[in-house]
Structure 1
Amino acid sequence: MLHAIWLVPAIPLLGAVILIIGCGRLPSLLVSIIGVGSVALSAIIASFISIGFITTPPPGNAFTIILWHWMAIGSFSPAIGFYLDPLSLIMMLVVTIIGFFILLYSSEFMAGDEGYSRFFAYMNLFVAAMLVLVLARDLLFLYAGWEGVGLCSYLLIGFWYQDPANGLAARKAFIVTRIGDTGLMIGLFLLFTHLGTLEIQPLMLRATQSWPAGSTMPTLAAVLILIGAIGKSAQIPLQTWLPDAMAGPTPVSALIHAATMVTAGVYLIARTHMLFALAPAVQMAVAVIGAATLLVAAFAALNQHDIKRILAYSTISQIGYMFLALGVGAWSAAIFHFMVHAFFKALLFLAAGAITMRLHHEHDIFRMGGLARRLPVAFWSFFIGAASLAALPLITAGFYSKEMILSATWAEGGRIPVLWAAGVITAFLTSLYIFRAVFIVFFGDLKTPVSGHYGPRITLPLIALSLLALIGGFVETPEGLGGITLFSKFLASVFGEAPVVSGSAANLRLLAASLVSLAGAGLAYALYMRSSPRFTAWAATPAVLGWRRFLFTGWGFDRLYNALAVRPFLAIVRVNRNDAVDYVYQIIALTCRMAHQFLHQSQTGRIRWYAGWLAAGSLVTIAISVLQ
């Protein structure tokens, strides 16, 4: 069954090709069957492959298949090949299964849209590109999938291109992520130049054999790969594209945030973790960037009004947790949180979409309210997703993955306690901002009339993802709560054995993290369900309003970049609107025309003049020969 792994990305790709060819000519039912069915079939094949891999592991706990070679130039022979190990297997399952639920939901959510077929073509292509990225045998093939998800994100963010704002958001995402992509591309050139291969496993082996830890070359290579990961995963300072990416349809947001695109950077660092181990300074930079992004995005989320932008900043913050774990060497913890995050973030976005589609696509949480009884499925789905995001103890998957990161951060990065403190503070803020949304949206007075109804294609994905968001964390529990280590042991062949954190101090930190999450939810209840006049008056003071406006804009990053880069560039464009480079070629053309006009004067048609010039030229030539 392992030899069929190429079918996992090929089937969604085939579905995309069929939908593109038949775009506008296929009936909606057939479009949804092809779009959803191809990803469902991919998920089924991926599941059978995973069962076979787990029950009968291949030699070395890894499997490689090469379909064909792109080219052969000296020692450079990149291949269309796939590599399956526990890391890529987990990524493959998450992309296909979560992708299937999102596409099933989309078949009802997007019903009646004039771009229905085009939507599913893009989504299938998106899933195929992400599968290529996570299953690629070498970094060049991985880069093809990397650019593929970037292209699809542009197409899907700007899906409703009739609105210029959506096109602007799509271009912004494409341009900002290109900054990171450029860094990654240069990094690939550097790695091949110095190590002679781009096949990932031999590349990592050669790096450890050729480069001493902390030396210049692995540090430079790790920095370039980190730049690529920062761009795709929307970490500081390239995080500004992700909130604006909410311009796309809600299922697009769910797919980008839960199973594709933003998690690509996490996978890239995890896949090349041996290189980062050779560059400890860069690895620590990963942790610092993650910790800073945690706090910045959490404060921004606390001041948003749009329900999707709250979730967008939440994603930036949660990816920050993954970067924090990667930075302290807790590789398994980062991938565990990636998996759990995919469950609850897909659930939150789909639940948000289920709310907005019943409220005439209203996104402002302050125009909602009183929806708990009127939309019970959406309420319980969003509540379960919020509880998992907030890491409410014992009953949610998010608690176990976040606790694993915090424990590893204390154990591995204890020499810098501020990293652990950033994680704990953000856990409190996360609980506060997501339960702020819960209480405002679902309780209080009804502000917008509810209309329409849900079908099973909306409710089934919500129910399935709710179950995963609750029970998906029980594959890895802390020592004080059973000490289950199934997940980290499964990844041990990739990352090595994960250290076990135990003892009374570890239990105290576990208790503290639990109380922090509960405290955030309690404060949200006190502020937004039992609001006091004193709090309302304080929140309306000019100083607080100014600070909240600053946080609402995402800490002013867009304004800063507009001042430092966008406006100067546009000013240069205005000055150079006629393109100064063209003047060079215009001068060359003018010189040629003038030379032509001059030589044209010699063409008189008089034979005597031609003979005279010929004789004169001959005399000059003879004279030169004699004088020499």
Structure 2
Amino acid sequence: MEYASYIALIPLLPLAGFVVLGLFGQKHFSRTAGIVGTLILLVATVLACYTAYQYFFVTGKVNGVYQTIEPIKLTWLPFSPGMSIDMGILLDPASVMMLVVVTFISLMVHVFSLGYMKGEERFAVYYAFLSLFTFSMLGLVLSTNIFQLYIFWELVGVSSFLLIGFYYDRPAAVAAAKKAFIVTRFADLGFLIGILILAFYSGTLDFGALIQRLTATHSTQLAQITGTTFLGVSLLSWALALVFIGGAGKSAMFPLHIWLPDAMEGPTPVSALIHAATMVVAGVYLVARLYPVYLIDGTILQLITWIGALSALLAGLIACTQTDIKRVLAYSTISQIGYMLFALGLTGYTASLFHLFTHAFFKSLLFLGVGSVIHFVHTNEMGNMGGLRKEMPLTHGTFLIACFAIAGVPPFAGFYSKEEILMTAWEHNKLIYYGALVTSGITAFYMFRLYFRIFWNKTRVPDHHHHSEGTWNMKLPLVLLALAAVGVGFIPFARYVAIDGEKEISIPLSFSLAPVLLALAGIAGAYGLYYKENERPQKLERALGGLYKTVKQKFYFDELYLFVTKKIIFNGIAKPAAWIDKHVVDGTMNGLGWITTRFSISIRTLQSGRIQGYLIYFLGGIVALAAMCIYLWK
């Protein structure tokens, strides 16, 4: 079977689900919307897995190299010869891998939501929005050109806005949706400008042609874009930096990270979808898609490296102090995305995408696990939890697996991908390596702080309103994702997803000793502080004083943004601009109108309609003309 005969169905099926459920769901599928949406996505997932099998094991490799295939490509908007916006589907190792990740994780979220969202008033609308989100992300990862990617990039933003603000009657959810939308819009403006610069100098929007023209030896386009400077920096550097700003905004990297923790106001399954495999990894995928061009500019790679490393460390520290279990995982996501980005900055393409792949499974498992907990106890706060391991044995077991995976404990999936990133850092930048090593220990600490406070810590008074930890459709995704969190690390990822010339990383056992010991030390620290209820955490908080308060307040980034927007932009720029608009611009226009009105009133007697008056003016004119003629004759 050729790809072209069915490949378009993978993104179009979720789109069809959105249209059907959005238009008819509330009226005709109010109870079965979840089943309809889930079945549609099940078909898309099966097709995605079949595509991956065909590509990686049957037809994708030619002469030992995986090919880039465009089974569908249609010209949509032609501008000039060689320049057009096309709509198509691109298959290469990265996009096929993302195809499987997006569909599978989305399917798990769909199944889990059957139980978690049961009884919601807007149940059909919720599944319509999930379908739209999945379609948007599939369109993004399959895009053949950078402007098609940008279109779906913005559609992902709209979808996330709808899902984060799903509980529109809650002010916090509405504020979170607006915050996510506005912050990412500023970043996306930079992305758009970067696209225009790259397209102008390369003469194309197509990924393949753009990369070829800007990376070819003695390339005229490369000479032009690097030879043209602005403020002493080449336009290539500006373009790549601006494109990365778009990715940093979508992936919630420092300093554009402030929207992601607030996005936890949406339904918990939505958090799993946004954090695990879709929206926040779009920035990583964007850099990976243009990676051959990024390799030209070492300065921008350094920028990506340090932004990723700083985001990983800061988010990890903040996660240690949060008490809302979903916000702990939100900052954990920022930290893990930081790992992926600094790996890309250090030329670890395969290591970065491998961690993206494994992270999708154990992070979605973590979010669905806390969703199961929240569904059981009706609170997000750790202080109201404890001792849940006996009442929620399946959730407890699967959550523990995910904690080991993200902590980098062998043989769980996160260990293998994180080790490859650490090895990349060790080979290219020792300072980044040691920072990443410390961050990995912090990760183990805050994740097991979360684990012990939920499932151990104190004895919980049984709540007789609950009889089980959830229905089968909430348990099945946990089991499948737990199996994946153990098994996907054994996949020889570098054989399937790599760039030309990249060597498979060999990690000696001795190298893994330090990361594993640090992970165990972090687990031991969490055990000592939180396994049983005691005064040690409070004593530690008091001992750290202002430092602990600063970290708990998220280094006051939100307050800084509010100060800049309200005090500087609103008061210092917006108010003076409004005064000028009202008093100068409007005043000038109003003054002209007043002068025109007064002048009209003063001359209106000239148009009185009286013939005798007109005759007087006429005679006066004749006399004046006669006088002029006499004067000139003399």
- TM-score after normalising by structure 1: 0.91
Q: Is the 8 A contact 1:183 1:225 kept in 2?
A: yes
Aligned 1:12-51 pairs, distance under 5 A: 12-51=14-53
After superposition, the Cα gap between the structure-2 partners of 1:586 and 1:185, relative to the gap in structure 1 and judged at 3 Å, is: farther
> Secondary structure, in 3 states, of the residue corresponding to 1:297?
helix
**Residue 493 of structure 2 corresponds to residue 491 of structure 1:** no
One-letter amino acid of the structure 2 residue matched with residue 440 of structure 1: R
Q: 2:344 aligns with which of 326, 329, 334?
A: 326
> Secondary structure, in 3 states, of the residue corresponding to 1:169?
helix
Q: Higher Cα Rg: structure 1 or 2? A: 2
One-letter amino acid of the structure 2 residue matched with residue 436 of structure 1: R
Q: 1:211 aligns with which of 211, 222, 226?
A: 222
Partner of 2:374: 356
Q: Distance in 2 between matches of 1:582 and 1:36?
A: 56
Q: Is the 8 A contact 2:386 2:455 kept in 1?
A: yes
Q: Distance in 2 between matches of 1:350 and 1:557?
A: 28
Q: Distance in 2 between matches of 1:320 and 1:594?
A: 67
Partner of 1:345: 363
After superposition, the Cα gap between the structure-2 partners of 1:31 and 1:621, relative to the gap in structure 1 and judged at 3 Å, is: farther
> Secondary structure, in 3 states, of the residue corresponding to 1:539?
helix
Partner of 1:95: 102
**In the TM superposition, what is the alpha-carbon distance from 1:498 to its structure 2 partner?**
2.9
**Residue 432 of structure 2 corresponds to residue 426 of structure 1:** no
Partner of 2:565: 565
**In the TM superposition, what is the alpha-carbon distance from 1:217 to its structure 2 partner?**
2.5
Q: Distance in 2 between matches of 1:25 and 1:591?
A: 60
Name the Cα RMSD after superposition. Answer: 2.4
Aligned 1:50-65 pairs, distance under 5 A: 50-54=52-56, 55-57=58-60, 61-65=67-71
One-letter amino acid of the structure 2 residue matched with residue 30 of structure 1: T
Q: Distance in 2 between matches of 1:464 and 1:57?
A: 28
Q: Is the 8 A contact 1:294 1:422 kept in 2?
A: no
Q: Distance in 2 between matches of 1:456 and 1:567?
A: 52
**Residue 118 of structure 2 corresponds to residue 104 of structure 1:** no
After superposition, the Cα gap between the structure-2 partners of 1:546 and 1:589, relative to the gap in structure 1 and judged at 3 Å, is: same
Aligned 1:172-251 pairs, distance under 5 A: 172-208=179-215, 209=219, 210-211=221-222, 216-251=234-269
Structure 1 window deviating more from structure 2 (593-602 vs 262-271): it is 593-602
Q: Distance in 1 between matches of 2:593 and 2:532?
A: 77
One-letter amino acid of the structure 1 residue matched with residue 445 of structure 2: L
Q: 1:388 aligns with which of 393, 405, 409?
A: 405
Partner of 1:8: 10
One-letter amino acid of the structure 2 residue matched with residue 456 of structure 1: W
Partner of 2:489: 473
Q: Distance in 2 between matches of 1:516 and 1:620?
A: 105
Q: Distance in 1 between matches of 2:501 and 2:390?
A: 47
Partner of 2:231: none
**In the TM superposition, what is the alpha-carbon distance from 1:507 to its structure 2 partner?**
3.4
**In the TM superposition, what is the alpha-carbon distance from 1:490 to its structure 2 partner?**
1.2
Q: Distance in 2 between matches of 1:112 and 1:89?
A: 36
Q: Is the 8 A contact 1:95 1:260 kept in 2?
A: yes
Q: 1:607 aligns with which of 598, 604, 611?
A: 611
Q: Is the 8 A contact 1:372 1:442 kept in 2?
A: yes
Structure 1 window deviating more from structure 2 (284-293 vs 608-617): it is 608-617
Q: Distance in 2 between matches of 1:613 and 1:166?
A: 74
Partner of 2:230: none
**Residue 385 of structure 2 corresponds to residue 368 of structure 1:** yes
Q: Is the 8 A contact 2:457 2:532 kept in 1?
A: no
Partner of 2:332: 314
> Secondary structure, in 3 states, of the residue corresponding to 1:237?
coil
Post-superposition CA distance 1:88-107 (Å, at most 9, x none): 00111100111011111112
Q: Distance in 1 between matches of 2:168 and 2:29?
A: 23
**In the TM superposition, what is the alpha-carbon distance from 1:599 to its structure 2 partner?**
4.9
After superposition, the Cα gap between the structure-2 partners of 1:548 and 1:50, relative to the gap in structure 1 and judged at 3 Å, is: same
Q: Distance in 2 between matches of 1:245 and 1:169?
A: 5
After superposition, the Cα gap between the structure-2 partners of 1:112 and 1:530, relative to the gap in structure 1 and judged at 3 Å, is: closer
After superposition, the Cα gap between the structure-2 partners of 1:122 and 1:589, relative to the gap in structure 1 and judged at 3 Å, is: farther
Partner of 2:456: 443
Q: Is the 8 A contact 1:406 1:423 kept in 2?
A: yes
After superposition, the Cα gap between the structure-2 partners of 1:537 and 1:158, relative to the gap in structure 1 and judged at 3 Å, is: closer
After superposition, the Cα gap between the structure-2 partners of 1:428 and 1:86, relative to the gap in structure 1 and judged at 3 Å, is: same
After superposition, the Cα gap between the structure-2 partners of 1:620 and 1:392, relative to the gap in structure 1 and judged at 3 Å, is: farther
Q: Distance in 2 between matches of 1:540 and 1:334?
A: 35
After superposition, the Cα gap between the structure-2 partners of 1:530 and 1:20, relative to the gap in structure 1 and judged at 3 Å, is: closer
Q: Distance in 2 between matches of 1:158 and 1:267?
A: 25
Q: Distance in 1 between matches of 2:522 and 2:151?
A: 42
Partner of 1:260: 278
Could you list the structure 1 runs, at least 4 aligned residues long, displaced by more than 3 angstroms after superposition: 65-68, 212-215, 446-451, 500-503, 530-533, 535-538, 572-579, 581-601, 608-624
One-letter amino acid of the structure 1 residue matched with residue 540 of structure 2: A
**In the TM superposition, what is the alpha-carbon distance from 1:26 to its structure 2 partner?**
2.4
Q: Distance in 2 between matches of 1:18 and 1:554?
A: 42
**In the TM superposition, what is the alpha-carbon distance from 1:80 to its structure 2 partner?**
1.2
Structure 1 window deviating more from structure 2 (61-70 vs 292-301): it is 61-70
Q: Is the 8 A contact 2:494 2:504 kept in 1?
A: no
Partner of 2:416: 400
Q: 2:306 aligns with which of 279, 288, 300?
A: 288
Q: Is the 8 A contact 1:229 1:264 kept in 2?
A: yes
Post-superposition CA distance 1:513-565 (Å, at most 9, x none): 111111111111122226775x4563242x52432221122111111111122
Q: Distance in 1 between matches of 2:586 and 2:137?
A: 41
Q: Distance in 2 between matches of 1:338 and 1:621?
A: 91
Partner of 1:378: 395
> Secondary structure, in 3 states, of the residue corresponding to 1:293?
helix
**In the TM superposition, what is the alpha-carbon distance from 1:27 to its structure 2 partner?**
3.1
Runs (5+) with no aligned partner, structure 1: 476-485
**In the TM superposition, what is the alpha-carbon distance from 1:15 to its structure 2 partner?**
0.7
**In the TM superposition, what is the alpha-carbon distance from 1:49 to its structure 2 partner?**
1.6
Q: 2:474 aligns with which of 458, 479, 484?
A: 458
Q: Is the 8 A contact 1:307 1:352 kept in 2?
A: yes
Structure 1 window deviating more from structure 2 (587-596 vs 176-185): it is 587-596
Q: 1:152 aligns with which of 142, 148, 159?
A: 159
Q: Distance in 2 between matches of 1:596 and 1:552?
A: 68
Post-superposition CA distance 1:272-319 (Å, at most 9, x none): 001111111001110111111111000000000000000000000000
After superposition, the Cα gap between the structure-2 partners of 1:569 and 1:45, relative to the gap in structure 1 and judged at 3 Å, is: same
Runs (5+) with no aligned partner, structure 2: 228-233
Q: Distance in 2 between matches of 1:509 and 1:619?
A: 111
Fraction of identical pairs, as percent: 36
Q: Is the 8 A contact 1:160 1:166 kept in 2?
A: yes
Partner of 2:539: 538
After superposition, the Cα gap between the structure-2 partners of 1:603 and 1:302, relative to the gap in structure 1 and judged at 3 Å, is: same
Q: Distance in 1 between matches of 2:386 and 2:54?
A: 48
> Secondary structure, in 3 states, of the residue corresponding to 1:80?
strand
Q: Distance in 1 between matches of 2:489 and 2:605?
A: 89
Q: Is the 8 A contact 2:45 2:100 kept in 1?
A: yes
Structure 1 window deviating more from structure 2 (131-140 vs 547-556): it is 547-556
One-letter amino acid of the structure 2 residue matched with residue 242 of structure 1: L
After superposition, the Cα gap between the structure-2 partners of 1:326 and 1:241, relative to the gap in structure 1 and judged at 3 Å, is: same
Q: Is the 8 A contact 1:214 1:278 kept in 2?
A: no
After superposition, the Cα gap between the structure-2 partners of 1:135 and 1:501, relative to the gap in structure 1 and judged at 3 Å, is: closer
After superposition, the Cα gap between the structure-2 partners of 1:619 and 1:239, relative to the gap in structure 1 and judged at 3 Å, is: farther
Q: Is the 8 A contact 1:207 1:218 kept in 2?
A: no
Structure 1 window deviating more from structure 2 (443-452 vs 9-18): it is 443-452
**In the TM superposition, what is the alpha-carbon distance from 1:163 to its structure 2 partner?**
1.4
**In the TM superposition, what is the alpha-carbon distance from 1:615 to its structure 2 partner?**
6.7
One-letter amino acid of the structure 2 residue matched with residue 63 of structure 1: I
Partner of 1:481: none
One-letter amino acid of the structure 1 residue matched with residue 409 of structure 2: L
